[in-house]
Amino acid sequence: MDNKNLTKVALRYRAIFLDINREEIDNQSVATAPVLAFVARLKEIGYCVSEELMHALNAVPVDSLAEITLCVNEVMGTNLNWAPLVKGWNVSTGESAIDHIITLFANVFGKEAGFKGTTLPCGHLIPEGTFPLERYNGCPFCGTPFKTADFVYKGQASKLKELRIFTADDLRRVFGTLLSSPTPLDGSQRDSLNILLQEFPLPENPNIGMKETAMLVIRLLVAQNKADEAQKLLKTPTDVLRYLWFEKTGYVQIIEPKTLVAHARRLYSHMWKPLSRGADAAVEMKNNLMLKYDRRACKRVAMWLNDIPMSAKQAAENMNPKRGMWVRMIRALRLGEYSRKVGFEHLADILDVFYKQDYTTWQGQVDKARAANNADQTLALLKERPGLFARSLFASMLRFGSDKALAAFRDVADALPARLLLSLDNSAELYFNTNETRIARPITGVTHQIEPNKMLALYDDNAREAMVEAVREIYKQSMARRFAEHTTKAKTIYIEPSLYNIPLAVGDRSATIQDASCALMGTRFPIEGDAVRLFLQWGKGLHAQHLDMDLSCRISYANKISECAYYNLTCVGAKHSGDIRSIPEMVGTAEYIELSLPELEAAGALYATFTCNAYSVGTLSPNLVVGWMDSANQMKISGKTGVAYDPSCVQHMVRISEGNLSKGLVFGILDIAKREIIWLEMPFTAQTMRGANAKSIEALLHKLEKKVSIGELLDIKADAQKLMRVESVENADEAYTYEWALNPADVSVLLNA
């Protein structure tokens, strides 16, 4: 097994992977000197260890302890260059727009025009009396760094995060949880599953909860020449098309190729240079969509379709919504040729029915009945496919009346996955509110605003509120029945109060990777100190080049907006470390923003929105790391290098993965009065923070606040299973804490009821 990769997965669950059996742990052992040294290193970067892990470490070879230390350091970024543009940037350099204008003239007209100053390695002349060069690690005019730092601060954290032990059995349990997750996996979970798929064999009959997860498994089976085993995961032609699309693009949601290319063109229209990385990516995306398959791939798909457990008419109807894509795929995969071979008779029947269009579509029947305003026929058809009924429930309630639509829906509610019912409950209040703008974020990553349904105007406020309550009641009753069917030996339950503030983020998946821990979108992080320090690190492993990423913060007041960004380095309650526009060779670079809560409170600020942007290229740089630090202890800033990063103070951080098409990202909102940060993730496509639509941010935040919380779902479980609530973990048979909620996979198990 690859212990390094498994340790990375374990760290996301606040654990250390040890390749031992729990039975081998001597609970009476005394920690050895190497173990004490290892624990001391962990403490420096913000971790402590559980008692069980402390005893287990005694059985680990010293070399393995050293490897784990290196792995943890890599995850926490202690080996990155964290030097910003300005030294001791908590004290203003006093630079202004005038300095930039004078320097521009000096570099246009040169020393011949009488300008005196210092010529920097980048070639720019900095005139005397402008920028105080002794305060900079690079060129203040073009943002090119000349110095790097090989250290970070450590041990300033006021609170340590406890690590527990993970054995191979624990990781297998995580593996099974990810496979069976009833909700789509976020970026971190997908990355973990990819790692675990390489290390552990698939179960004999894997319980795979989502089509998206099945695509990852099929890709592995195909790579291992086990395409025949993948057949049992492919139930419909759409499953086959989804895999083909996933194989080409890396995405599991099927969208028309022209839509994706059009989006890429819009996204990369912000480029400075026609041959930038963004343009190359757009060309590569277009080339990837060209359908070229070898004979081996063609035969594999032909066999899959031939073995689909559906009649020819059912299969053709299933193919109909993506008919245009299927016509291209059939030609590219030579399916007509294979359909004429012995043994492929079912494939031949499917293609014959498909091309002759000798089938009726269920959706066509629904559309016809709906157009005729035939409620009974429409609802009867919808009951045949509960999942699609759920997706059109709200519109059906408005068209046919809530009583009639909900009566039909109750008959099939228990046949639906819990996540769909939860999504309905989460969405109802926003959908039936005529004053709320809904948001949607499809595969392209662009956030769209959706105006209220026009038919809402037909109903008054009381009727709309009754609809919301009726949907909520269906969800509660169905979940209660599901929990009641699961017997438990537990008699008592502990629900930590903070869980009532963490939404079950069904439908709001994070596309970034959380290496240090996992948290559900909408999780609220309490602030311990008087300062919040944002950080952005990018460029590790890349050659020196112009690569401009920006860290910004928008501060909202009752009647105004203030911004701390590259164009405004200081404002009330916020300081920026300087705008870096080029990266040094291979080591990367960093930017910071420090927020002073006492100053913001005194000024009457309400919220601070955290964003990062790709200014000079098409998308955020892969492996870019962004997050924030907090500590009750004062956090240092180096007057010599400007380094202000301390891994022990990191409260939350995320990493941009390969293939992320976002140009900008909102990654958190600080509620100044409550002194807590709401983690959220909202991509946008502008070069600066001003492109992050404030209305969309507010809509997303409101949407998260209106979602069912983890605590509310646990209340339903407690009532259904007749569990007595207790006030402490020690007195509970089942305990649900904030630390437990930081593992989305464990939280999603509740939806398996």
- What are the pLDDT digits (tens) for 485-519? 988 899 999 999 989 988 886 666 788 899 988 88
Whole-number Å distance between alpha carbons of 535 and 551: 7
pLDDT mean over 615-640: 91
Nearest to 749 by CA among 392, 418, 329, 315: 418
CB of 468 closer than 8 Å to CB of 708: no
Does the pLDDT at position 224 exceed 90?
A: no
Whole-number Å distance between alpha carbons of 325 and 329: 6
Does the pLDDT at position 458 exceed 80?
A: yes
Decide which of 702 and 318 is more confident: 318
pLDDT digits (tens, 9 = 90+) for 327-348: 999 999 999 999 999 999 999 9
**What's the longest Cα–Cα distance across the chain?**
88
pLDDT digits (tens, 9 = 90+) for 238-252: 999 999 998 888 777
Q: Are strands 625-630 and 531-540 parallel, antiparallel or unpaired?
A: antiparallel
pLDDT computed for residue 193 by the predictor:
92
pLDDT computed for residue 626 by the predictor:
96
pLDDT bin (cut points 50, 70, 90) of residue 522 is: confident
Look up the CATH superfamily of 524-706. Answer: sav2460 like domains (2.60.60.30)
pLDDT computed for residue 285 by the predictor:
47
β-pair partners for 537: 590, 625
Whole-number Å distance between alpha carbons of 95 and 99: 6
Residues in CB range of 65: below 8 A, 6 or more apart: 34, 35, 38, 57
pLDDT computed for residue 277 by the predictor:
41
Decide which of 185 and 478 is more confident: 478
Q: Are strands 15-17 and 161-166 parallel, antiparallel or unpaired?
A: parallel
DSSP 565: B
Does the pLDDT at position 451 exceed 70?
A: yes
Does the pLDDT at position 275 exceed 50?
A: no
pLDDT bin (cut points 50, 70, 90) of residue 278 is: very low
For the chain, the residue count is 753
Whole-number Å distance between alpha carbons of 589 and 140: 15
pLDDT mean over 728-737: 93
pLDDT computed for residue 545 by the predictor:
93
Task: Please state the domain extents for the chain.
Answer: 3-76+157-174, 97-130, 234-356, 362-484, 486-504+709-752, 524-706
Question: SS3 for 160-206, per residue?
Answer: CEEEEEECHHHHHHHHHHHHHCCCCCCHHHHHHHHHHHHHCCCCCCC
pLDDT computed for residue 620 by the predictor:
85
pLDDT digits (tens, 9 = 90+) for 537-546: 999 999 999 9
Residues in CB range of 436: below 8 A, 6 or more apart: 430, 452, 699, 702
Does the CA dihedral 246-248-249-254 come out positive or negative? negative
pLDDT digits (tens, 9 = 90+) for 673-705: 999 999 988 887 777 777 666 666 777 677 777
pLDDT bin (cut points 50, 70, 90) of residue 734 is: very high
Distance between terminal CA atoms of the chain? 33
pLDDT mean over 153-176: 93
pLDDT mean over 406-411: 95
pLDDT computed for residue 281 by the predictor:
45
Q: Which of the residue ranges 339-353, 355-369, 579-593 would you say has the lowest mean pLDDT?
A: 355-369
Q: Which of the residue ranges 496-500, 614-618, 728-732 would you say has the lowest mean pLDDT?
A: 614-618
- Cα–Cα distances in angstroms (integers) from residue 95 to residues 92, 103, 132, 141, 566, in the given order: 8, 12, 8, 10, 12
CB of 230 closer than 8 Å to CB of 301: no
Helix (H) or strand (E) holding 700: helix 694-706
pLDDT mean over 402-414: 94
| Mean pLDDT, rounded, of the chain | 88
pLDDT computed for residue 657 by the predictor:
82
pLDDT digits (tens, 9 = 90+) for 629-655: 999 999 999 999 999 999 999 999 999
Whole-number Å distance between alpha carbons of 149 and 129: 28
Share of the chain above pLDDT 70, in %: 91
* pTM (predicted TM-score): 0.84
Q: Which of the residue ranges 204-213, 422-431, 446-455, 463-472 would you say has the lowest mean pLDDT?
A: 446-455
Does the pLDDT at position 76 exceed 50?
A: yes
Residues in CB range of 701: below 8 A, 6 or more apart: 669, 678, 680
Nearest to 654 by CA among 628, 681, 626, 629: 626
Q: Which of the residue ranges 75-79, 324-328, 479-483, 658-662 would you say has the lowest mean pLDDT?
A: 658-662
pLDDT bin (cut points 50, 70, 90) of residue 429 is: confident
pLDDT digits (tens, 9 = 90+) for 392-405: 999 999 999 999 99
pLDDT bin (cut points 50, 70, 90) of residue 417 is: confident
CB-neighbour burial class of residue 135 (10 A; exposed 0-12, middle 13-18, buried 19+): buried
